[in-house]
Amino acid sequence: MKYITFCLIIYVNIYVSLASSNPLIGLSQFNTPDIAQVQEDSLETSVTTEVANFGVLPKPDHSLHFYGLPLGSGDGSIVQCPGGDLIIINLGFMTENAWTPSMVKTYLQYQLFQVTTIIVTRGMESHYNLLPYVFDRKAYFPNLKRIILGGRQQDYSQTNFTHWINQHRQIVEFVNNQEPCISDCVFDPPVCMNTNKIKFNLLGANLGSNAAGRSLILSIQTSVPNFRLVLPGDFEGTDIERLVVQEWQQTQTPVNCTHYKISANGFSPNSNSIAFLSALKPKYAFSTNNYPSNEGGYLTCSTTQNILLIGSIKKRKYGGNFACGFSETGEASQYLNWVYEIYTTAPYPENYEIIHLKVSLTTN
């Protein structure tokens, strides 16, 4: 694996796995604005694009790592702190054409003992139904201290999960007493034990009117380098994103991000709206929710267009393959010769493709 290293002490390596078999065509169906080169700050980046086979979670080092797992229509991410502590953010799936439960368990098994915190952003099976399977024996994860749940207790209806939660009820907590909030949330954020340079923030919680909408909006950030990843959740509801953005503005909450995890294959009208994205102004965006076209397809082209229209996404130095199109929204698949910092994983589990962000922290 190659790294392109810049001369500054600070650098961010983003390993992104993309499909390599797609034919290339032009951007004739896209309105692609002429995006100016984003002025560089303390975030110096290098990008390696590869089809990677990570059979197990790589060993920790002194950097912050974020791994987005290919769980099809489900969701699952791993935050690996410097020194090895692991924080799981969602772990679930709803399609057979994704990493199977056994593949997920194999990927994590040698480092399960490093898991200190599990966060579930909303009460949908696609976000939690793998947890009872992967964390089935307490002896495997002795350092698990917290299970943080978004939404309300009634949202978690799957029998296996409710039984699992009852087994660990002494460490289970709901965000903001299960009530909606934006800037005044009651939330004790998780921490990376070996450093104070990484912060987890809650930008909103439990705002929807049902289990699908009551989601957490999380961010992970470091001050040096100037890195902020926003995980918007899949919150749903009429004009909720405008309410969120308005309160952010009124309370002067800093939300501009360098990286953005696209919600629900792009099929989340609130968190993928132009109003919401314009407030965040990401430089990089990625999706891990792709699944084969017979079950939906790639990242939606409409969301891809929204991300381009906000004008903050960087251009790559080199082009690459990219596909969009979601049949459930009536979009045909398009295969593109891509020059923007928007990434997706291939929709086939055997490729073992993941999204991997590596943030190298300064030592002073």
Residue 154 has pLDDT above 60, yes or no: yes
Query: What pLDDT does residue 290 have?
Result: 62
What mean pLDDT comes out for the span 20-43? 35
In a domain, 207, yes or no: yes
In a domain, 240, yes or no: yes
Name the more confident of 112 and 349. Answer: 112
Q: From start to end of 223-314, where are the E strands? A: 227-231, 259-261, 284-287
SS3 at position 240: helix
Q: Which of 19-23, 42-46, 181-185 has the highest mean pLDDT?
A: 181-185
C-alpha 219/C-alpha 230 separation (Å) is 4
CB 300 within 8 A of CB 291: no
C-alpha 172/C-alpha 236 separation (Å) is 25
pLDDT band at 348 (very low <50, low <70, confident <90, very high): low
In a domain, 160, yes or no: no
Residue 256 has pLDDT above 60, yes or no: yes
Residue 364 has pLDDT above 90, yes or no: no
Q: CA torsion sign, 303 to 309 to 314 to 320?
A: positive
C-alpha 162/C-alpha 158 separation (Å) is 6
Q: Using one digit for the tens of pLDDT, what is the confidence trace for 262-316?
A: 887 666 778 888 999 999 999 999 888 766 544 556 788 888 889 999 999 988 7
In a domain, 155, yes or no: no
Cα atoms in the Cβ-side hemisphere of radius 13 Å centred on 228: 17
In a domain, 239, yes or no: yes
In a domain, 152, yes or no: no
SS3 at position 166: helix
Q: ω into residue 292 within 30 of 0, thus cis? A: no
Cα–Cα distance list, 139 to 69, 118, 133, 173, 205 (Å): 24, 16, 14, 21, 32
Cα–Cα distance list, 218 to 183, 255, 263 (Å): 12, 10, 12
pTM, to two decimals: 0.86
Kindly tell me the number of DSSP H helices and DSSP E strands found in the chain. Answer: 7, 17
Residue 103 has pLDDT above 50, yes or no: yes
Residue 137 has pLDDT above 80, yes or no: yes
Q: Using one digit for the tens of pLDDT, what is the confidence trace for 185-233?
A: 999 999 998 889 999 999 999 988 888 889 999 999 987 768 899 999 8
Number of domains in the chain: 1
CB 289 within 8 A of CB 303: no
Query: What pLDDT does residue 362 have?
Result: 62
Q: Using one digit for the tens of pLDDT, what is the confidence trace for 43-100?
A: 444 434 343 557 789 999 988 999 988 887 788 999 999 989 999 999 998 766 678 8
Which residues span the domain enclosing 261?
11-66+76-82+180-360
In a domain, 339, yes or no: yes
Query: What pLDDT does residue 323 have?
Result: 76
In a domain, 335, yes or no: yes
Centroid of chain to Cα 164: 24
pLDDT band at 22 (very low <50, low <70, confident <90, very high): very low
